[in-house]
Structure 1
Amino acid sequence: MKGGLSAAPGTTMVTTNHEVIRQWAQRRGANPATMPNSRYDGEMGVLRLDFPHYGGAVLQPVSWADWFASFDARKLSFRYQELRADGTPSNFFRLEHAHDI
């Protein structure tokens, strides 16, 4: 399903809509980020979303404008879930090349 349409719990959706992506992230407290020292074709490298209270990789905050500029330049799509199969909120997302969907 494309866009930000409601779906049954556990359903995976795909979008390239900036506002859908931004709102999905903001509802979860996530902010745009990249991996430090990662580059892609001389531009911002690995795109991530930084969720609060998650350990692991040290991420470098970036603006939404820069994050989406890289997202668009690479022709990516955003695969995500609103809810897990049990109805609880899901943080699942994956960035894919649009031709892979």
Structure 2
Amino acid sequence: MDRPERPGRSLITANHEVIQRWARDRGAKPATIAGTERDGRAGVLTFNIPGYRESGRIREITWDEWFYTFDLRRLNLIYQEQLRDGRPSNFFRTESPDREDG
């Protein structure tokens, strides 16, 4: 269901299956940014995508850990399936619909 109407369009979802499929299609693993953890849970959520966001601070975590934090913080994933030219896109970010500046 979560499909772009045209290449390059950003989509938004909280559906775990859609998020896992998007990540799997890119070889991405669920991750957090080391040092941002709070109260024994992951902090900033991200993905470890080979060749995309390389950083020594990215720490891979399990899907259970990732989704626990994602759901607890009531986040959405904004992502793209394709760039405007039709190539696969690695663009994503998490956002909270509860933030006043969001």
| TM-score, structure 1 as length reference | 0.87
Q: What is the Cα deviation at residue 55 of structure 1?
A: 5.4
SS of residue matched to 2:93: strand
Identity %: 42
Query: Distance in 2 between the 1:54 and 1:93 partners?
Result: 11
**In the alignment, what sits opposite 1:91?**
90
Q: Distance in 1 between matches of 2:49 and 2:60?
A: 11
Aligned twin of 1:63: 62
Return 5+ residue gaps in structure 2 as ranges.
none
C-alpha distance in 1, partners of 2:53/2:81? 22
- TM-score (ref. length: structure 2): 0.86
Normalized per residue, the structure richer in strand is: 1
Q: Deviation at 1:45?
A: 1.1
In structure 1, runs of 5+ residues without a counterpart are none
Q: Distance in 1 between matches of 2:36 and 2:72?
A: 16
Aligned residues between the structures: 99
Shift of 1:99: 3.3
Partner SS, residue 72 of structure 1: helix
For the residues of structure 2 that align with 1:25 and 1:46, how far apart are their CA atoms?
17
Structure 1 stretches of 4+ moved >4 Å? none
